[in-house]
Structure 1
């Protein structure tokens, strides 16, 4: 990308959740490989996600390792009324504690200011949910860039919903409405929107989100983990119709080119790299269904049983990552599995209890489909690996991401999830079987696979020299350099 000034430094401040910290580390690697000094701010119990991966020194340019620092600050558990040992969104299972947690993160402002004073960076890249970051950046006279961890498509849908309120035009919660003024006809129901959720703390949560959006309006712009060829109409909509500044630099996960780097992403895996690859290597190309619901979404015991029955009925080989509570008696007694399920599935299915090396799995030639909760990281990783998807959104913006996959890209089919909730439930085994079969068997499956393969090729080209994301990252670095030069002058 040419010579970059040695003086350019960036502080990265991700939300304390695996789904935000992992892409932030990838963004740090991208900056570092372009001669930009980066510092990641986090807390003690979250630090291993960064330090473990950095110590492996296996990403694309090992010599850039010294360009990334990890600054560890204490989490304000006592001040925020949070039990000791909880420093991550992934550990929270109720709205009441979730609200407390997000309020506690706002107490990190002083720590951020101390880090800014210590490093004197040229730019602050902070998660959307740290609204105070905009004021901190202004205090130090540097631009604040927002990292959402979502797609242009989701931003545009949310904007149209807020501006036109089509959800108010229908007579009941499960009646479909069209989101107006978008490049494609996108249909949703009120049950798929966060505004329809009548749970304790949701009103307070919306206030927090509102403050975050207001701070974003005053920021310098946003960094998007996406690429132009994936959603060109929505890049245009976001920048021209909504009038926002943004730089798309993804898929950021593709900076991890070697197997070890893919394996080291995120938390400690519950399965060894060799064991995982050995099992996948024993399978035919495009023959395995990978099932995973991410790091936060929960799946009820009854729903896990339905998934198991659906997988068995589909007659497809599968690898299934199941995240359960460490002290869950149901987990200990294996009551979430049908009787003798694993015995019947021996050799045909592999169950990973806990964290799975997702990029390593998705990028393996044996994977033929991905049953996903449609979190943006998982969605984009599936796209960049060319894997057709069975979409099963649960909460957040996941129902929007599903529409991108099924209605715009047409690289997947929905399992039939209809209600926004933190817990995945109410989908029958027959629906699981039907959706898996649709993306794995027959003419339609071949067409879906062909489109998915094309998106993979476009994703890889986007991050190569001269690609759309490569150029946008270059443009961002040049702009930050110019901004920094003006301030120094």
Structure 2
């Protein structure tokens, strides 16, 4: 198949946000390792973040290239240099950012019209429905990539189809999602922003996403069949075709192991500090805390988190995201002498942290997370149980999967999502230090329940690795997808 598919050229069009770009780059390497030529559409500043990774891939004889399109910051009303969601100075710029991403349609069409030979397939982000028109214009087969679980996809579909959420009398009233393999309940306050808004603009956006998916050849999903088999089967009845090809990060690890290029070069200060700290602690004793790159958590809430970590008496690594490093928090940490007070028992990292390396270390025993899907899959792939603290988007859906279906997590007790557009105004503390302490103690307990949770996490880790190995479900699905595109292009 590899020799045949050498002639294939896949064009990948991601949404310009780190949580979307990372799996797209991993997917590019997966396709390239199966003999496909891959072009990823990026903007200049986003390309800079991944140049080293692609250079590494090229050194392994993988055929990956970037096609750069200028990002229309000024035209969309964005500050200069805001080419990624995590570069926005405030969540209030998000609608303008979506508008800027939509403006990439015309320059992409202009580039395609100049090519002597068109790509054999377009893999587009679900957040870019205009790629449907591009594919139709140039008569190129197109599939949609979902960076979320089939559990979330099926829940969302069934909620929207039944409109059950529109019949509840308040934001805090529980309702059961119909036609699921398990009894899953939500409140309206826990739904993604688009689902609980009554605005015509949101409804139109959801309709566009759904129409874009239905007009595609099928969907690629960053999950694996063994993780959520009943929900994969359920969504297969909704979509034209579903190929589960994840966890993409594990494919990546195996690919570079196979090609002999698993080195990462120099270790930076954060990695060195984390490694020393993890080595100095016992197996499964450290709590890792990280809320992703798009969180905007008030200082008042982060103070409670800090005090809860301290009160738990467990060693911890706490990553404070770029958006959360406020003047108020910095002042409090200094006045409280928090770092010195917890010296030897806690590490605070501001900005980026080597998450996969931390999660895969034997000393890491738990992950306190916002339940973003990339982070969830990384924890699953490392066999680390989780404390769930969802914030927005589909994160409450992921919490239900982690805690209720997979049974590898403990809820911290958040009942209400935060609106990222209003976060700066919202100084409410949703989680008290006692809640943090209690959740950590429950996750790390040595009783029967804790042991069962850890064993379950290890079993799922094993299933994840089997899925991406030669002949595994995700490996086979990827090959079947490439073969199907080959047959269409022939």
Structure 1 residues 338 and 120: CA distance shift in structure 2, 3 A: farther
| Range with bigger deviation, 272-281 or 184-193 | 272-281
What is the CA–CA distance in structure 1 between the aligned matches of 2:335 and 2:176, rounded to whole Å? Answer: 40
The alpha carbon displacement at 1:223 in A equals 0.8
Which residue of 344, 347, 364 maps to 1:347?
Answer: 344
Alpha-carbon distance in 1 for matches of 2:345, 2:263: 23
CA separation of 1:466/1:346 partners in 2, compared to 1, >3 Å: closer, same or farther?
same
Find the counterpart in structure 1 of residue 32 from structure 2. Answer: 32
Asked if the contact 1:11–1:41 (Cα under 8 Å) also holds between the matched residues in 2, the reply is: yes
Query: Deviation of residue 196 (structure 1)?
Result: 8.3
In structure 2, distance between residues paired with 1:224 and 1:89: 22
What are structure 2's unaligned runs of at least 5 residues?
A: none
Is it true that 1:214 corresponds to 2:218 in the alignment? no
Alignment match of 1:482 (pick from 476, 484, 487):
487
- Report which stretch shifted further, 269-278 or 289-298: 269-278
Change over 3 Å in CA distance of 1:233–1:9 after alignment to 2: same
Query: Distance between the aligned counterparts of 1:41 and 1:104, measured in 2?
Result: 14
Counterparts in 2 of 1:355 and 1:191: CA distance versus 1, 3 Å: same
Residue 109 in structure 1 maps to residue 105 in structure 2: yes
Instruction: Quote the offset at 1:3 in angstroms.
Output: 3.9
Q: 1:446 maps to which residue?
A: 451
SS of the residue aligned with 2:365?
strand
Q: CA deviation at 1:336?
A: 5.4
In the other structure, the counterpart of 2:43 is 43
Measured against aligned partners, the alpha-carbon deviations of 1:406-455 in whole angstroms (never above 9, x if no partner) come to 11000001111111223495111111111111111132211110100000
For structure 1, the 5+ residue unaligned runs are: none
Q: Map of 1:300-315 to 2, 5 A cutoff?
A: 300-315=298-313
| 1:211, distance to aligned residue in structure 2 (A) | 1.7
Partner of 1:5: 5
- Tell me, in whole angstroms, the C-alpha distance in 1 between the residues paired with 2:263 and 2:152: 29
State whether structure 2 residue 72 is matched by structure 1 residue 68: no
Report whether the alignment pairs 1:85 with 2:81: yes
1:172 deviates by: 2.3
Q: Classify 1:76/1:329 alpha carbon distance in 2 versus 1 (closer, same or farther; 3 Å).
A: same
CA distance in 2, matches of 1:326, 1:409: 30
For the 8 Å contact 2:181–2:230, the answer to whether it is kept is yes
**TM-score (structure 2 length as normaliser):** 0.91
**Equivalences for residues 183-262 of structure 1 within 5 A:** 183-194=181-192, 204-240=201-237, 242-257=238-253
**Alpha-carbon distance, 1:176 to partner:** 1.4
Question: Take 1:327 and 1:355, find their aligned partners in 2: how far apart are those partners?
Answer: 12
Task: Name 1:418's counterpart in structure 2.
Answer: 415
Contact 2:289/2:318 (<8 A) preserved: yes
- Name the CA distance, whole Å, in 2 between partners of 1:273 and 1:125: 33
Query: What's the TM-score, normalizing by structure 1?
Result: 0.91
Contact 2:245 2:475 in 1 (8 A): yes
| Alignment RMSD (CA, Å) | 2.6
Change (3 A) 1:96 1:326: closer
> 8 Å contact 2:287–2:364 — kept in the other structure?
yes
The aligned residue for residue 154 of structure 2 is 156
CA contact (8 A) 2:226 2:463 kept: yes
